[in-house]
Amino acid sequence: ETGVTQSPTHLIKTRGQQVTLRCSSQSGHNTVSWYQQALGQGPQFIFQYYREEENGRGNFPPRFSGLQFPNYSSELNVNALELDDSALYLCASSLDSRSAGNTIYFGEGSWLTVV
Amino acid sequence: GEDVEQSLFLSVREGDSSVINCTYTDSSSTYLYWYKQEPGAGLQLLTYIFSNMDMKQDQRLTVLLNKKDKHLSLRIADTQTGDSAIYFCAEADQTGANNLFFGTGTRLTVIP
């Protein structure tokens, strides 16, 4: 139990739709990172939010966007869904943006299927 | 950019040792990590090693780091059926958000 909760756990969307995934970080953590894990692949970094500001972004198009709220929970939004967006989306929280890996905690993920 | 490589599959008999290997490219990585992912589940941090160490032991797990060759390995002693999972090696990006770069994962199958 990492204290990082994600919702929904599973969802199915149609190509072209929009989706919002949510993450509650562990208590006291001000940094949230999002990762996409396609089937058979390792997780890939999408972006990180630190104190409500984007603090780094991986190689993902602008239709992937995020928010972090004053309580440090976070949302990942994906617009104009494509079939290749089908993946497990993982949220990770940490004490701050420079936390070492031993203090980065992952949620169980949200499984998104785009049909 | 960073590149982390692992072999895709490993099968071992229950009770034997498993060795999962990983090569990475970013020599400035401060920490290197091993994660475990069971079917349909999220990531569980198994262990990590600081870059100035050669070896770290934690119960049945032994991590070896060869910085010169940029090679990391995870040895699981007395492998059990519950160890069957996908194992990811990861390094941290030191230049920005301290995000993690993961390998493609090694699927470990333990044969009873």
Query: What is d(CA A35, CA A22) in angstroms, rounded to the nearest whole number?
Result: 13
For residue A95, the chain B residues in CB contact (below 8 A) are none
Tell me which residue of A95, A90, A84 sits closest to A106, measured CA to CA: A90
What confidence score (pLDDT) does residue A26 get?
Answer: 86
- Which of A94, A102, A110, A113 is most worth mutating to test chain B (most B CB atoms within 10 A of its CB)? A102
Partner A contacted by B100 (CB < 8 A): yes
pLDDT in tens, A102-111: 678 899 999 9
Residue B52 C-alpha, separation from nearest chain A C-alpha, in angstroms: 14
Q: Nearest by CB to B42, from A40, A42, A109: name it.
A: A109
Partner A contacted by B42 (CB < 8 A): yes
pLDDT in tens, A63-90: 999 999 999 999 999 999 999 999 999 9
The confidence band for A3, taking pLDDT boundaries of 50, 70 and 90, is confident
What confidence score (pLDDT) does residue B105 get?
Answer: 95
Tell me which residue of A35, A41, A12, A28 sits closest to A108, measured CA to CA: A35
How many CA atoms does the CB half-sphere of B88 hold within 13 Å? 22
For residue A102, the chain B residues in CB contact (below 8 A) are 31, 33, 45, 48
Which residue type, as a one-letter code, is found at position B10?
L
What confidence score (pLDDT) does residue A65 get?
Answer: 97
What confidence score (pLDDT) does residue A105 get?
Answer: 86
Low pLDDT (below 50) residues in chain B:
none
pLDDT in tens, A18-64: 999 999 998 888 899 999 999 989 999 999 999 899 988 999 999 99
Q: Nearest by CB to B98, from A44, A47, A99: name it.
A: A99
- Which of B28, B95, B99 is most worth mutating to test chain A (most A CB atoms within 10 A of its CB)? B99
What confidence score (pLDDT) does residue B84 get?
Answer: 97
Nearest CA in chain B to A102: B48
